[in-house]
Structure 1
Amino acid sequence: MFGDRLVVLAGGTRLSSRVQELHQLGARHALVLSTDDHAPLHDSEVARWVPLGIGGGFVATEQNRLTRMLTSPDRRVRELLDEFDPAGRALVISTPYAQVPEFAGRPVLNARRPEWVDLENKTTIDALWDELSAPRAPAEVLGLDLDGLWEATLRLDRGAGVVWSGDGPAINGGANFVRRVRDREEAADAFRVLAAKCEFVRVMPFLEGIPVSVHGIVFPDGTAVLRPVEMVVPRRRGSARFLYAGCASYYDPPARIREEMRNLARRVGERLRETVGYRGTFTLDGIATADGFLPTEINTRYGGAMVCFEDALPQLPLALAQVALVAGHDLGVSSREFEELLVAAADAYRHGSVGANVRAVHPTEVVERPVVFTEWACRFAHPEEVPQGTLRLRPSPLGARLELDLVADQLPFGRPAAPLTVAAFALADREWGTALGPLEPAVPIPDDTPIAPVVELDAVTA
């Protein structure tokens, strides 16, 4: 597919990895039009790297700018394309959100069809669960009517409040348009945010449990279903907002919930293939509750949590396999073989991509420190200690990016990463002034046990 071809990478994540993978697959040369302002060190014989200067910090802002560039490239971009690919035959790969089918006459291989994008709407997805006879929490969808939303809140509240999820024309992700509502004041605050960006709001009881996601990959012959991944979503204490802090594969749901998730994902994948001709990766999100797995949404794209699988099997160019599937190419492997390969690798190798945007500080250089954990706290590691993670603060267009890298072989398998994230971010607030505020992790369901201490503090240190 890529052998001896020119390839344009327009935006996206982990571009350095994509460039190397394309080179290993025989691509002649790559032009990287990056939303990042800083080009990394790279081999000019392999790729030309051009920062576009349109990075916006928020995914939605950056993606909207990138879409405008793909749809109506300016003179500078057209000259770059003509110089790189005068024959106009290059292949184009854009971000997982891409909906533009061509870029200056060149095909965008991973462009999503409109009917695929429509399935991400949180206010219409319940129809799919009902078609599949899947257990789900009760929910109501309403327009932008505060009194009507409050009445629905009173009807659906089981004692822990409800969750309002807005959807509409704006890109929705990272818990941007999700609010927990427990009283009339929180309802009014949530309404002010959602009314400015959304067309409809879904009201659902707040579900206690671990936020989880499972990926399916739709092939022509079936759906490969992967292992569950924890969505690291701490709650802001005293606030209606959630903090989306990434994903991690350390957590193992109880076996019954793992199978519920994977079975439903397979049925979803087959339904998408039958009804809208879907190909490639999708995510099925929900909550692992005491009543089992309850779904909340799907994302019909290559999700950020796929990093857990990319790193578990780095010799497989997984993101490019996604591009090939979306473009209608045959990978030469069955969905079952692909599934067995990835699930075995990801069960054996655990990984996380945990971080949060920070506005309170504006560092000019990267600072990082090794850390260790107890059940209840995180601290910087002493020089003689084996670290269990690294806490990092780096410059970002929004101010800073706080990141936590966990060391898999220093942590027990099976436990959620959210409590560790909460402890590490509290340390960053104290030591670096990141001002994320008090956070709380999701409460494990009864099958789980609290996180056991992974390092003992002596009495003096404690």
Structure 2
Amino acid sequence: MDHVLPALQERLGTLFGDRLVVLAGGTRLSARAGELHQLGARHTLVLSTDDHAPLHDPEVARWVPLGIGGGFVAVEQNRLTRLLTSPDRRVREVLADFDPTGDALVIGTHYAHTPEFAGRPVLNARRPEWVELENKTTIDALWDELSAPRAPAVVRGLDLDALWRATLDLDRGSGVVWSGDGPAINGGANFVRRVRDRSEALEAFEVLRAKCDFVRVMPFLEGIPVSVHGIVFPDGTAVLRPIEMVVPRRRGQARFLYAGCASYYDPPARIREEMRNLARRVGERLRETVDYRGTFTLDGIATAEGFLPTEINTRYGGAMTCFEDALPQLPLALAQVALVAGHDLGVSSIEFEELLVGAADGYRRGSVGANVRAVRPTETVERPVVFTEWSCRFAHPDEVPHGALRLRPSPLGARLELDLSADQLTPGRPVVPLAVAAFALADQEWRTGLGPLEPAVPVAEGVGFALLSSGGSAAS
């Protein structure tokens, strides 16, 4: 495998070397600009939705804040799409100054579907037929085509009585889940609601009817929400390791809290293989039917019955940062851009898979956090924390912390973040109970107002979270 990284870097260098590149929105932009510079890009223009440019080398990148950050991903993406489609005078002037001949390559966000920007090609623009596959109300047909086990589900229009009848039919005793879909960008559990009674049905209906065209109803599935990524190459599909979707439940409410992702959790071996096998079949089907290239996510629940899929996202998912950090010398997001644009990476899908899975199994990380509206801090506060049994507290000066809890300013009010120390966690355990405990501490000490939360329940009986002995007692 020693040849894989050099081969990838050489091929990416042929695409980006001696070229002007425009990064039109996105995340980790400083890292992307640095990677482009190492690959030989002549210069990079960063058009950022963040109003605050980080420290950067002007010889590497020119940084231009767009001033369109909205906090919510959907808001930012809609504003950015309008800007790409019809750039205003200021942006046109910046582009003309940076790239007077109009030859620059453009890299959009992972949601990008606009094929060009002021006459310049957007390399990673998603095709309409790829975007359509994210529809949560039509995806069950794909599971049936692939003979994949799935939970029973029905799709209804925005008719409250019809949705309630479907709820009564499918409820196994723990309620059902309504998943809406329609023209709005859908992610982070925006249009997902748990319905256990008529009042929750009314609450969910009021939210979904304003944003969605259809609603899928399926039984509530107990277990850990998990995702597995596939990367479609011309010769096959590279399949990565499972990632936990950290999704606490709001006690007494129909809503869920999407709090990020983490790679610490290991589902039972049989479920890991079920996930990876299905992801490979999905990738091959996408390649055959819509000529798909690049990354997709296969999401579902690790239940006592096995892995039950719920949706796919035909884009580079946010949890790919777990793999970026596991192998930082590989410009993974730029490899995604090259694949979507139809370029040969010079390595096989199985070589790519072995490289990334091995790295990510050996290096665990997480990106856990939540938006907060109850407070509006003017500066960042951060405290080390330890976990004891099922609770979290601030660490004493003489203790080794298990992580850090941070509250920082955000366009929405504040952003609450939990960083975990990998060497203080027992591998294999889910992160969601840690997030619930830490967020309860933040509510108590910083008045963050997230409210009572409950963790998802792992498949194996008796599995909670456990910590190494330093800093706090172990939990069972």
Normalising by structure 2, what TM-score? 0.95
1:245 to 234, 239, 259: 259
Alignment of 1:210-359 (within 5 A): 210-359=224-373
Q: What corresponds to 2:61 in structure 1?
A: 47
Per the alignment, residue 152 of structure 1 pairs with: 166
Q: What is the rounded CA distance, in whole Å, between the counterparts of 2:82 and 2:281 in structure 1?
A: 36
1:207 aligns with 2:217: no
**Cα shift at 1:375:** 2.1
Distance in 1 between residues matched to 2:462 and 2:72, nearest whole Å? 34
Write the letter of the residue equivalent to 1:160. S
Is 1:99–1:113's contact at 8 Å kept on the other side of the alignment?
yes
* Separation of aligned partners in 2, 1:448 and 1:230: 18
CA contact 2:20–2:41 (8 Å) conserved in 1? yes
* 1:294-348 superposed Cα distances (whole Å, 9 cap, x missing partner): 0000000000000000000000000000000000000000000000000000000
- Matches of 1:144 and 1:81, distance apart in 2: 44
Aligned length: 459
Change (3 A) 1:114 1:458: closer
CA contact (8 A) 2:400 2:471 kept: no
Please say if 1:135 is aligned against 2:149: yes
Contact 1:143 1:199 in 2 (8 A): yes
Superposition TM-score, scaled by structure 1 size? 0.98
Q: Cα RMSD over matched residues? A: 1.1
Deviations 1:244-287 (A, max 9, x none): 00000000000000000000000000000000000000000000
Does residue 446 of structure 1 match 2:460? yes
Structure 1 CA distance for aligned equivalents of residues 352 and 231 of structure 2: 9
Cα distance in 2 for residues equivalent to 1:221 and 1:203: 37
CA contact (8 A) 2:400 2:470 kept: no
Distance 1:329 1:458 in 2: 50
> Is 1:28 paired with 2:42?
yes
Does structure 1 conserve the Cα–Cα contact (< 8 Å) formed by 2:152 and 2:219? yes
Specify the alignment match of 1:92 in structure 2. Answer: 106
Aligned-partner Cα distance in 1 for 2:218–2:425: 34
**1:424 pairs with one of 431, 438, 454:** 438
1:196 is paired with a residue of what secondary structure? coil
Cα shift at 1:374: 1.5
- The residue aligned with 2:31 is 17
Give, in whole Å, the separation in 1 of the partners of 2:335 and 2:470.
44
User: Which runs of 5 or more residues in structure 2 are unaligned?
Assistant: 1-14
Aligned-partner Cα distance in 2 for 1:45–1:458: 47
Report the CA distance shift for 1:187/1:344 in structure 2 as closer, same or farther (over 3 A).
Answer: same
Choose the corresponding residue for 2:197, options 174, 183, 188.
183
- Distance of 1:375 and 1:231 partners within structure 2: 22
- For 2:74, the equivalent position in structure 1 comes to 60
Percent same amino acid at aligned positions? 85
User: Does the aligned pair in 1 maintain the 2:426–2:467 contact within 8 Å?
Assistant: no
Structure 2 CA distance, aligned partners of 1:38 and 1:449?
43
1:375/1:454 contact within 8 Å kept: no
- Residue 116 (structure 2) pairs with residue 106 (structure 1): no
| In structure 2, distance between residues paired with 1:85 and 1:453 | 53
Q: Tell me the SS of whatever aligns to 1:154.
A: helix
Q: Choose which of 60, 71, 78 in structure 1 pairs with 2:92.
A: 78
Pairwise CA distance, 1:376: 1.1
- The corresponding residue for 1:170 is 184
Change (3 A) 1:457 1:304: closer
- Change in Cα spacing, 1:375 to 1:274, as seen in structure 2 (3 Å) is same
Q: Secondary structure at the match of 1:305?
A: helix
The one-letter amino acid paired with 1:143 is G
2:415 paired with 1:401: yes
Q: Secondary structure at the match of 2:298?
A: strand
Quote how far apart the aligned CAs of 1:387 are: 1.1
Q: Distance in 2 between matches of 1:408 and 1:331?
A: 32
- Deviation above 4 Å: which 4+ runs of structure 1? 453-459
Q: Deviations over 1:159-199 (max 9, x none)?
A: 00000000000000000100000000000000000000000
- Distance (Å, rounded) in 2 between the aligned partners of 1:276 and 1:117: 11
Aligned to 1:161: 175
